[in-house]
Chains A and B, each alone.
Chain A
Amino acid sequence: MTKENGFSVIGKALPKPDAVSKVTGRAIYADDMLPARTLHCRILRSPHPHARILSIDTSAARRMPGVHAVITGADLPIKFGILPVTQDERALEHEKVRYVGDPIAAIAAVDEEIAAAACDAISVEYEVLEPVMSIDEALAESKDERIQDYGGPNNIHKLVALEFGDVDGGFEKADHIREDVLFFQGNTHLPMEQHSAIATFVDGRVTLWSSTQVVHYVHRALAKVLELPMNRIRVIGAAHGGGFGGKTDPFAHEIIVCKLAMLTGRPVKCTLTREEVFYAHRGRHPVLMWVRSGVTRDGRITAMHFKTALDGGAYGSYGVASTFYTGALQTVTYDIPAYRFEGCRVFTNKPPCGPKRGHGTPQPRFAMELHLEKIAHDLGIDPVDLKQRNFVKPMTRTVNWLRVTSCGLDECTERVMTASGYRIRERRRGRGMGFAISSYLSGAGTAIYWNDMPHSEVQIKVDRGGVTAYCGAMDIGQGSDSVLAAIVAEELGLQPRDIRLVTADTDTTPIDLGSYSSRVTFMAGNAALQAARKMRGMLVDAVEAKMGGAEAVRVGAGRIGDFTFEEASILAEARFGTLTSAGSYTPPKIAGPFKGSGVGPSPAYSYSACVVDLDADPRTGIVHVNKVWIAHDVGRAINPLLVEGQVEGSIYMGLGEALMEEQAFRKGLHKWPSMLEYKSPTFMDTPEVETFIVETVDPEGPYGAKEAGQGPLLPVIPAVSSAVFDALGVWIDEIPVTPEKIVEALRRKQKGQPARYGPERFPSIPYPACIKVEPPPRDLDTNAAAASI
């Protein structure tokens, strides 16, 4: 059983605990639930991108046979929002709508068709306002009125300006300075499962089953808007059909079904149509970026100045955090001695943007990797060499105070360089390779709402030989249940199949802040490890007492010392009473001493390196990706099968963003709110991927593990654009890299214009004066880190 790594479960490629229920169609997703007497909910949504609501007449809808309840914003007036600083959403708007799809009224009826017909019977009188549809329009004075009544000037939501170290001095030291402007178009998560929620109201208590990534945040929002104490609300995560960040906010439909269940006394279900899923959005922000770097002759970065402008859509969502993230992690891969970041998020009349896989960091990662490629070309240095010369080192602090522990950048780079043959590649017009690296958080170091409590908690119960682990973590398909089961099994000398899991239920499980920010393996994993070690301690104590303490008690292969696990649990229960243990994880307080330092710190960062090989047709601009090599430093693979799955899924999603996916608008309307027109990669579009798992054994991760679900997406996108340059000699400074952009760039090159396609200018933004922050002392963590290894 025991592998050469000394573990019996950790590091083994085991199937997921719920694999059979998923391949047999037995997993129960929210829309699969249909309790007796269920009413169906449909939501009336705004047809206008920006309008004042003058009146809503629901009388005809109320009279329709089969309609049980009709609600409007007046029934749910309390505002909510994921971040405490942006409580700007209502479940239903009754004063103003801010994007096409903004919810206005909701119906509960005996079937969906009647509910839909009743929606049609509601008449709403609007005063249509001029929509604000771009970053430039949002920065200018509004033609009618501002979208939100906070932020500003104009439709600016948030401005950030931070400076670390001596940036001007750094530019003075540079031998070469380069500026680039780049744009990353927005895109959406497109989970296969449409959002769905079903609520009941029994004995004065609301129960909601939802397709959510974070039961806890939904719980908080429900308590606020429904004005019920949290102990009268129960939120359960149903089997989850894909999130990628898109089900991390509390959503209007989740609140609406609860309210309708309270009013009707019957179960109420709402499943969004695919078109509505495009309006729920919270996806990748479109970001316009300007970057200026100074480098020495040999390519060492002396200073960097990075400016971003995010098109946020109509509401706050995670946007304040997203804004900081567009400037936070540049320093985590490259040693930048002086760094200035200015960020701006604007409101526009579009569905709100929020977190999508990589939250706020794929856009600047694209910009920075391409920018460094161009600097390398300016200097005549191989871009891989230039990047490698600037790699951060393990056990350091970045200039913006981020603590780097384990870092496998060098090994990741070497693995993909060797496997792909990048350095000895054939040079031929139309064929190219691109290289890029990245890094991502293993969970955010600070919680979304300020508190000192743990970010994850696990309880374990052992009873008659049966082990149950309880944790609020939500398995969204990434395999968080596998991680919990593997860790508890490893510590107790069992197999994952021996562990029963109870997860993502606010009544029965202790807190976990949810499946976002790549936090579950690291945080819930550490909590599970602590709880399991306590339980193991009790079992070993009881066995030791029975055996007389003559020899050390060995735990493994279903045995504890001379006893089976079941016998040992009986001994322990007789000795200690009810066998329960608890563990929790609170990230270390490592944020820097400045306002805004809460976004960026993580207890550990994953690292990835990637090479993309592609053909780009100079006549048509059509790109065919031949192969992707990716090496990912996951710290330690708790389950290599699932790590590979996360890495391959990230590559696929990154290729979709790089080459085709766009959440774009025309005249206030989403251009393509359907799966057919919103192009995403099919089996035919997705190349073979060769994955290398690099293990650096992080000092703080559970068994050394770090994240795997988001980081590997990041390098793919710049690697595609670099490969197109390698193939055709034109820079596509705008994501997605579509055939028409390539053809246009080639046309410009032929005419002697700059051989690129991308934005020409970065707008003038009234950033405030930078908060100047001294870099951290060089030896800040040396002693602490050394002690913990």
Chain B
Amino acid sequence: MNPRVSIQTEDFDLSREVARLREQDKRVGAVCSFIGTVRDRNDGQSISTMELEHDPGMTEKAIEAMIDEALKRFEICAARVIHRVGLLQPLDQIVLVAVSSAHRGESFQACEFLMDYLKTQAPFWKKEQTPEGARWVDARVSDDTALAKWGIESRNA
């Protein structure tokens, strides 16, 4: 069975991941994916590099639980999450969420749900390199608000 969650330093290939997600599953009529990438600006500063730290013991378990929750809430066939860690640069891919389902509505919803969940509940931390030195990225209240629309209280930021 293909893994549902990968935390890795290497880049990922969307086409390959979607092909694996759909593999031999004739129920699938829709695939929705989201990719997060590194911007060259954040909070008014230019960003030269970004370092992503995570908790190796906790991260995969937390995201597996999020996928279980998505499978309960939406009629989806499968889901795949890849999150990169380590040193990244603007233009680099950071995160992939891909979901398959029979009809598009459930894929769209589950993909957004997983992203909103991951943003505030998966143990990753970003540190940006700016012209004025390195800084830890602040959590955003808007991400808590995004999760709240699914009926989950976040209290992250």
Q: Do A and B bind each other?
A: no
Which residues of A approach B to under 8 Å, CB–CB?
none
